[in-house]
Structure 1
Amino acid sequence: MKATTLFGVLLVLAVGTGCTRDDDAMGPAQKAGKAVDEASDKVADGLRAPLEKADEAAEQAREKAEQAGRQLAERTEAAREKIVDATEEAGRGLEKATGKVGEKVEEAGEKIQEAAR
């Protein structure tokens, strides 16, 4: 019983002498924790702007790459169309040349037949 009474007296003294919890009166561990939290916030704030700039630069690079891809596709299509046109023109030229060669061969054949008579 003496232990219980002694504990009670100590408890009353502790409460009466100012061992109450005051939010402004932090202990060393709490102060260190607060300092670490504040330092972390400062580091995070310091990194936020460069990360945002990096994100913006990446977005601009992506947009430029997409634009370059579109331009390349357009140029490729234009080149393909020119090749098709040139191939068709060459085909027409070949047909014309083949027709003329055929005419010349016919003329030569006729001259050979006349000379043979």
Structure 2
Amino acid sequence: MASCRPPTSRRNAERQQALITALRRRFGDRVRIEGAAAGLHVVAWFDDLPLKHEEALIKAARAKGVGIYPVSALVAGRRNARKTVGLVMGYSALEVAQIERGCKLLAQAVAELD
């Protein structure tokens, strides 16, 4: 039976799954993924990375060509703001191979922090 999903929606679902799979493969239990049920991005929480490492991680990842954005910029000033690194990661404009490479490079950037 053919899928009722439009081609773009199906491709975005494949990209989202590729991102989630790549994050879990590279980081295992170190990453907690939220927001997969809506939108064209997910939030990846690195509960073992203190917020003080966020700027260095963003800089290292971007130097490797990985476009990630910190959650902290979205929750600044809130009393219940997180104390660990959270990254907003979009996937709709990427191909699966780019997603997998980006997660590999992100893992390298995280390893450089240790």
Task: Indicate the TM-score class for this superposition, using the shorter chain for normalisation.
Answer: under 0.3
- Which of the pair is proportionally richer in strand? 2
Q: Which has the larger Rg? A: 1
Q: TM-score w.r.t. structure 2 length?
A: 0.22
Q: TM-score w.r.t. structure 1 length?
A: 0.22
